[in-house]
Amino acid sequence: MTASELHPGGPSGDSTADLVAQELAALPITDVHTHLFDPAMGGPADRLLLTGIDELLTYHYHLAELFRVRRDLDPEEFAVRPRAAQADLVWQELFVARAPLSEVGRGVCELLTALGLDPNAADLAEARAFHRDTDREALVDRVFELAGLTEVCMTNDPLDGIERAAWERGFDRDPRFVAALRLDSAIMNWPQPVAGLRALGVDVEETLSERTVTALRGYLVDWHRRMDARYMAVSLPPILGYPDSDANWLQLLVRAVIPAARELGTPLALMIGVRRQVNPRLGMAGDGLGPTDVEALERLLADHQDVRFLVTLLARESQHALCVAARKFANLTPFGCWWFLNNEAMVDEITRMRLDLLGPSFVPQHSDARVLEQLVFKWRRSRRWLTAPFAARYRELAASGRRVDREVVRQDLTAMLGRGFGGQASS
């Protein structure tokens, strides 16, 4: 991608800003968190690697907006309609009847235009025909090219039967899809995971006994190796309560997950701040957020300094404290502007703060894409948003007499957004 494709207004006339814009536009990126899957894993059309306009429009980010403009709709009744009918209604309500002004609405329009489709269309016929006529492999190639990505991290859950079947069957790995072992289903809401784990031969019991902890740790080490995962990840509520809380998930995190990360020498990603199912009627669109107790996170980091933690927080108001914690604990790498923060205003603010407090030692963004084509608009937009905060800082450096050339900018950006996860040596 060139800078002029990314910034249709053309060059800014400021040579440092133009240099940063060019380098960000052309940078090969590793997307550290998505919900996408290696195409070779197969699975039903509506599971694993999702593609196409019907999946794009039924993304839960749009559904939350649909239920706002159609308060008469019953979410449970809507959820059982055929996917195409759901997508038709989203298109009519959010793209035809009114301007798609929200972040995700504007993103879809940018995507359609990038694919040569019409964002003003009265219906989805053209977009569906495009999807029907495009071979899946060709679509993956085109999306990676349009988004400028070299690899994306998946979110892999061995307790999901469809996913597990693919791993057990074995498949020809596409090196662009990197595994990340997701832990939510194995440690949250204990003892719910017990039956699923036992069905896999993991010898856990309902109590958090030594036997349970040892078996769970073995499960994590085993699956991490089997998937050749690059890290483990879990999403957590806002309040960690470390070390005093007796929440089962915290016990399991400390006694099984962190020792497994240490044994594997792999980073552990904590995605903190989600309040699941604030409105359960909305399904996946029903999760909310809350501010994080970063002091508890600091205690966790202090007690486990030999383990690398990749951390993203959902609440805007916790971002500054996270940056300060990262200055105290080198085993913390902040990553991404997650979910409700994945928009221009938040990325601009958070990136400026991180650059000022941490220099080039964090991962500025991830996409969280759930549908393949979302990579295109999420990354084109993120590259654009990151330009101003980076350019401002390089411009100031240049003005203070420090040499800023293409090589310098490329090296920093590659370390931050490439496969090294934020430019710090791994533990």
CB neighbour list of residue 364: distance below 8 Å, 6 or more residues apart: 336, 337, 347, 351, 354, 382, 386, 416, 417
- Taking residues 255 to 274 in sequence order and writing x for each that binds ligand RAT by CB under 6 A, - otherwise, the string is ----------------x---
Distance CA 258, CA 268 (A): 8
213 binds, among Zn ion, ligand RAT, none (CB under 5 to 8 A by kind): none
**What DSSP state is assigned to residue 373?**
T
Distances (CA, A) of 397 to 18, 163, 359, 405: 15, 48, 12, 11
Our CB check for Zn ion shows the closer of 156 and 387 to be: 156
Chain position whose Cβ is nearest to Zn ion: 368
Contact between 3 and 18 (Cβ < 8 Å):
yes
* The Cα angle at residue 233 between residues 330 and 296, in degrees rounded to 5: 50
Among 368, 373, 384, 423, binds Zn ion (CB under 5 A): 368
Q: Which of 124, 60, 54, 59 is nearest to 92 (CA)?
A: 124
Our CB check for Zn ion shows the closer of 151 and 368 to be: 368
Chain position whose Cβ is nearest to ligand RAT: 235
In angstroms, what is the minimal distance from the CB of 230 to Zn ion?
15
284 binds, among ligand RAT, Zn ion, none (CB under 5 to 8 A by kind): ligand RAT
393 binds, among ligand RAT, Zn ion, none (CB under 5 to 8 A by kind): none
Our CB check for ligand RAT shows the closer of 130 and 339 to be: 339
Phi, psi of 246 (to 5 degrees): -100, 20
Our CB check for ligand RAT shows the closer of 16 and 333 to be: 333
Q: Which of 411, 257, 415, 241 is nearest to 333 (CA)?
A: 415
Q: Which of 276, 275, 319 is nearest to 297 (CA)?
A: 319
Contact between 58 and 86 (Cβ < 8 Å):
yes
How many residues bind to ligand RAT according to rule CB under 6 A? 7
In angstroms, what is the minimal distance from the CB of 305 to ligand RAT?
26
Cα separation of the two ends of the chain: 33
Query: Is residue 373 within the footprint of Zn ion (CB under 5 A)?
Result: no
Measured over all CA atoms, what is the biggest interatomic distance in the chain, rounded to whole angstroms? 65
In angstroms, what is the minimal distance from the CB of 241 to Zn ion?
23
Among 235, 292, 374, 382, binds ligand RAT (CB under 6 A): 235
Distance CA 196, CA 212 (A): 13
234 binds, among Zn ion, ligand RAT, none (CB under 5 to 8 A by kind): none
In angstroms, what is the minimal distance from the CB of 217 to Zn ion?
24
Is the sign of the CA dihedral 198, 45, 134, 127 positive or negative? negative
Our CB check for ligand RAT shows the closer of 250 and 388 to be: 250
Distance CA 423, CA 299 (A): 24
In angstroms, what is the minimal distance from the CB of 138 to ligand RAT?
26
Among 284, 346, 353, 392, binds ligand RAT (CB under 6 A): 284
In angstroms, what is the minimal distance from the CB of 121 to ligand RAT?
26
- Taking residues 363 to 392 in sequence order and writing x for each that binds ligand RAT by CB under 6 A, - otherwise, the string is -----x-x----------------------
In angstroms, what is the minimal distance from the CB of 27 to ligand RAT?
23
Our CB check for Zn ion shows the closer of 51 and 374 to be: 374
Phi, psi of 129 (to 5 degrees): -65, -40
How many residues bind to Zn ion according to rule CB under 5 A? 1
Our CB check for ligand RAT shows the closer of 20 and 322 to be: 322
In angstroms, what is the minimal distance from the CB of 378 to Zn ion?
12
Give me the DSSP letters along 260-287: HHHHHT--EEEEE-EETTSSGGGGGGG-
Contact between 385 and 7 (Cβ < 8 Å):
no
In angstroms, what is the minimal distance from the CB of 366 to Zn ion?
8
Among 150, 218, 290, 339, binds ligand RAT (CB under 6 A): 339
Q: Which of residues 1-60 bind ligand RAT (CB under 6 A)?
A: 35
Chain residues that interact with ligand RAT, rule: CB under 6 A: 35, 235, 271, 284, 339, 368, 370
Chain residues that interact with Zn ion, rule: CB under 5 A: 368
